[in-house]
Amino acid sequence: MANSALDTVTRFLTEALNQNWDAALPLMTDDCVYTNVPVGTVHGPQAARAMLEQFLKPTIENTFVVKNHAQSGELLFLERVDRHRVQTGWVELPINSVFRLQDDRLAELREYFDVMTIAKQWPVPLA
């Protein structure tokens, strides 16, 4: 691998949270699988974008802090806190995720979080 899995995932998260899809989507394989555990599973970069856009729509600014990570080859486990600025202020969401890379691109993304943590803070009902 030319880049570490953490470098690739960090680039993807930064671009996706900033909704810079022209930079984020090429970091995913054409047949990638994105699972947002409370919501569901989608296939392909455009479907992942559509799922993420629903969540990011009411945000003004987004960032994340990596707390811990573990890597074995092309598999990365990541503990992070996503921070979203919405009209009422900042919302924080702890997330554990698993990423599997293939040729320096994201082939599988699985994100685990407590939906009630975000629902209690979010300015609009989560669909």
Confidence of residue 1 (pLDDT cuts 50, 70, 90): very low
Whether residue 125 is contained in a domain is answered as no
Q: What pLDDT, in 10s, does the model give residues 58-100?
A: 899 999 999 999 999 999 999 999 999 998 899 999 999 999 9
Whether residue 109 is contained in a domain is answered as yes
Instruction: Report whether 92 contacts 83 (CB < 8 A).
Output: yes
Whether residue 126 is contained in a domain is answered as no
User: Does residue 47 surpass a pLDDT of 90?
Assistant: yes
| Among the listed residues 66, 62, 63, 77, the one whose alpha carbon sits nearest the alpha carbon of residue 110 | 77
Whole-structure pTM value = 0.90
Domain hosting 94: range is: 5-119
Average pLDDT over residues 2-12: 88
| Separation of alpha carbons 57 and 54, rounded Å | 6
Whether residue 91 is contained in a domain is answered as yes
Instruction: Report whether 28 contacts 13 (CB < 8 A).
Output: no
CA 90 to chain centre: 18
Counting the structural domains of the chain, the total is: 1
* CATH code where residue 77 lies: 3.10.450.50
Whether residue 127 is contained in a domain is answered as no
Whether residue 50 is contained in a domain is answered as yes
Whether residue 66 is contained in a domain is answered as yes
> What is the pLDDT, as a whole number, of residue 29?
98
Whether residue 124 is contained in a domain is answered as no
Buried b / exposed e along 98-116 (16+ C-beta atoms within 10 A) = ebbbeeebbbbbbbebeee
| Separation of alpha carbons 94 and 83, rounded Å | 9
